[in-house]
Amino acid sequence: MIPINLIRQYHFCPRIVYYNLLTNIKPYYPRQVSLGEEYHEIQEKLSKNRKFVKLGINYDEIILNKYYENEKLNICGIVDLALICKNEIVPIEFKFVDSKKPSYSHVLQLYGYGLLISNTYKKDFNTAIISYSNNMKIFKIPITPKIKNDFFDTMKNIEQIVKNDILPNSSADENKCGQCEYLNFCDDRF
Ligand code: SF4
């Protein structure tokens, strides 16, 4: 099964998917990653008592840090936060990133989590929410056919990498490779 966090990773660099799924390499994670994990833990603790009034969404149940998988869709992952409403579900992500607007790879990843919950609860899924740590601004993202198509295209590409079992080409530039945990294993880089 494909972990949904690899959707975002694939768009950063497809080789990360290869290293992650097809090798036993233990990558070295930069300090930013552990800071991100700490931020997630804090947000999870806070979310237990939050009412999310600012979102203006009537919900019946909150999902917090729960693992889901769907064999038919071939995806799995831990959902950080989701609101289960009467007729729909709304996945939410708090990201430890400075950003003025949602990155498309974050949107695709969140679509994957929404898809998992929507299939589990058999409810509609029309909106996802992302909040970035720099200003805690909330972005409500309508789910469009393009997001859906791009998600499944990415899944096909990831499945192809697994099937080929060959290190894929990458167009990652110096900036990306410089912050990548697998830099020591890419012989054709800097
Ligand atoms: S070092 Fe560069 S090419 Fe290699 S996996 Fe990382 S981002 Fe991709």
* Angle, CA of 115, 97 and 60, to the nearest 5°: 40
Mean pLDDT of 94-101: 75
Ligand 1 atom closest to the CA of 14, numbered from 1? 8
Q: Which residue has the higher pLDDT, 44 or 26?
A: 26
CA 10 / ligand 1 centre spacing (Å)? 11
pLDDT of residue 38 exceeding 70: no
At 17 the pLDDT is 96
Nearest CA to ligand 1 atom 2: 177
Task: Give the contacts of 170 (CB within 8 A, at least 6 positions apart).
Answer: 13, 14, 15, 186
CA 173 / ligand 1 centre spacing (Å)? 8
80 band by pLDDT with thresholds 50, 70 and 90: confident
* Span 110-164, pLDDT tens digits: 999 999 999 999 999 999 999 876 667 788 999 999 999 999 999 999 999 999 9
What are 7's two structure tokens? 């959707």
pLDDT of residue 29 exceeding 90: no
pLDDT of residue 43 exceeding 70: no
Nearest CA to ligand 1 atom 1: 183
Length of the chain: 190
Spell out the domains of the chain, with CATH numbers in brackets.
2-185 (3.90.320.10)
- Give 31: exposed, middle or buried? Use CB within 10 Å, 0-12, 13-18, 19+: exposed
- Give 93: exposed, middle or buried? Use CB within 10 Å, 0-12, 13-18, 19+: buried
Q: Output the ligand 1 site: residues, CB below 6 A.
A: 13, 15-16, 170, 172, 176-177, 180, 182-183, 186, 189
* Span 170-184, pLDDT tens digits: 999 999 998 888 988
